[in-house]
Chain A
């Protein structure tokens, strides 16, 4: 017989060296410790050959830079590897479930991306003659039609570029309507204690004073408190429905009635529209303005993956004040109304230089067409079903913040179940990273102690939810069994350990400084 003398071992040898193992270089299982690109790149190196600068008289009147600009110089493979390595350390919806409550981190369908890359929709410019981009403008008009139909509202401003920008658009329309009616003295906005932080921030930005509405024990707006705080000084209320506790505001119609009776407008924060899309039309509930996060409900990327888009639907009362531009069409085709004249004279202004996030309009419209009305209805049903499955399967170990009745699209737990374990919500969230799962939203809403807000979205299969739930159950049991070491310094297995958030906030390093300043290349 012939012998193979290479002697390569093919089976792992028994060893106890794994515990507390650290690599010699700081690398980790084919993942390298990644420096800043400034630390990586040499000052005098460049990845491309540039022609020599032709000497010329400077027109900068003595303002010529006399210090190195400090851009890192890297070759193409160095630059590519740096960013790919960084991307490997990042979490993304394309890697795994992303259960951040209030964020609706759903799958971004590849069909959306394919449509957004069609040359007729991607290789165009906002300043092109409108006759050359009729298809794109028609798409905006059709998207507007879907948004108006799904919400039961007569008008929509497409241009706001994110949720909070949409809130600003809605409140500016409300302010314009009040001022047009001689009600400019209304300077108060009411918002529940559980509101997204952007609500009071937006109101304050518009010059309003914010007053909080109390919450009932079952996590809803306290009607008596609302009624007591409404009055001739109130411009609007801002209510999220379903609210940030993941609960439907059962009294929303009464909330709208009381608000309108007091002469105020009802702004609905539509961040949680995913829970009711296709099933509830906010217009039927008495809403006057609501933003729609295309990057949540309608599956366009976000969380680092792409820009947001926050169109705002408006009621009959607010429609005349909608910002320009919007789309009209007649026998000559489609046209963007850009000037606040004629029928558009009451427009309060505009929200952006051009018409908004065209690429997101295409993706959202592709999502609508691929799902259809029945598919969108099922989105809401499955999102709610998934959240209730998580709530039901974890409620014996963890404490749901509002145990009574079903939740909507989010399962909310408090930290009562962690009492006496020495483990906090933060510890638990960090330990989830070691188990391979991105943490849920924590410590929000503020009205729930040690809140853990889980939003699975309709994207996840039962098998994936079961894996997630099983990991959380094991962790919860470990916490209750006193395995605090597992939690206190978690994450143990991430590229970076627990950060000192306090130190980072008290003594922030806002600017990287070179170790030693490099001189200008002598020429």
Chain B
């Protein structure tokens, strides 16, 4: 699992990247009440808005940690946004992207680097 400074995570299997937000982000957001996932077929560049997550406190953009085409979105989040709080780094994933530039993944932080980054916040 790789991480961004904007608290997204990405797991790559083959050329498919699964994207979600980290446990830290879910904790900071508070109770998630609404998730807007992207449409399948949408193409995003690294850093583009990929999804919107709304908690009682605020609405936030989830940025694409890598470039690619959306091949699947987690439709379950529509009815069960609380999944993002319950299992942010597993069942609370947002979308799966077909990587257009796999090299981007290598530039992201690993778990240790992300933990170290969190300790500076």
Contacts and interface: CB of A to CB of B under 8 A. Distances in A.
Nearest to A450: B57
Contacts of B31: 501-502, 505-506
A389 interface: no
Interface in A345-388: none
B82 interface: yes
Given A506-B81, A506-B82, A443 B57 contact: yes
A502 B58 contact: no
Interface string A482-514: 000000000000000000011001100000000
A164 B34 CA distance: 24
Contacts of A505: 31, 33-34, 54, 56
A446 B33 contact: no
A446 B33 CA distance: 18
A416 to B, nearest CB: 13
A502 B80 CA distance: 12
Interface in A426-456: 443, 446
A319 to B, nearest CB: 35
Interface string B27-69: 0000101100000000000000000001011100000000000
A408 B25 CA distance: 32
A443 B33 contact: no
A443 B58 contact: yes
A501 B56 contact: yes
A302 B112 CA distance: 51
A492 B64 CA distance: 44
Nearest to B85: A502
Contacts of A501: 31, 56
A501 B57 CA distance: 10
Nearest to A505: B33
A446 B56 contact: no
A443 B33 CA distance: 17
B58 A446 contact: yes
A501 B31 CA distance: 9
B58 to A, nearest CB: 6
Nearest to B33: A505
Contacts of B58: 443, 446
Contacts of B82: 506
B62 to A, nearest CB: 15
A506 B33 contact: yes
A182 B57 CA distance: 41
A447 to B, nearest CB: 11
Contacts of B33: 502, 505-506
A443 to B, nearest CB: 5
Interface string A77-107: 0000000000000000000000000000000
B10 to A, nearest CB: 22
Interface in A50-81: none
Contacts of B81: 506
A443 B56 CA distance: 11
Interface in B51-110: 54, 56-58, 81-82
A505 B81 CA distance: 11
A206 B57 CA distance: 26
Contacts of A506: 31, 33, 81-82
A502 B33 CA distance: 6
B45 to A, nearest CB: 13
A506 B31 CA distance: 10
Most buried by A among B34, B54, B57: B57
A446 B81 CA distance: 22
B32 to A, nearest CB: 9
A506 B54 CA distance: 11
Nearest to B80: A506
A505 B59 CA distance: 13
Contacts of B56: 501-502, 505
Interface in A28-63: none
A501 B34 CA distance: 13
Contacts of B54: 505
A401 to B, nearest CB: 16
A449 to B, nearest CB: 9
Nearest to A444: B58
A446 B28 CA distance: 12
Most buried by B among A446, A501, A502: A502
A372 B85 CA distance: 55
A250 to B, nearest CB: 27
Most buried by B among A443, A446, A506: A506
A446 B58 CA distance: 8
B64 to A, nearest CB: 15
Contacts of A502: 31, 33, 56
B26 to A, nearest CB: 13
Interface of A: 443, 446, 501-502, 505-506
Given A446-B58, A505-B34, A506-B81, 4 more contacts: A443-B58, A505-B56, A506-B31, A506-B82
Interface of B: 31, 33-34, 54, 56-58, 81-82
The 4 A-B pairs with the shortest beta carbon distances in the complex, nearest first, are A505-B33, A502-B31, A501-B56, A506-B33
7 contacts: A446-B58, A501-B31, A502-B33, A502-B56, A505-B33, A505-B54, A506-B82
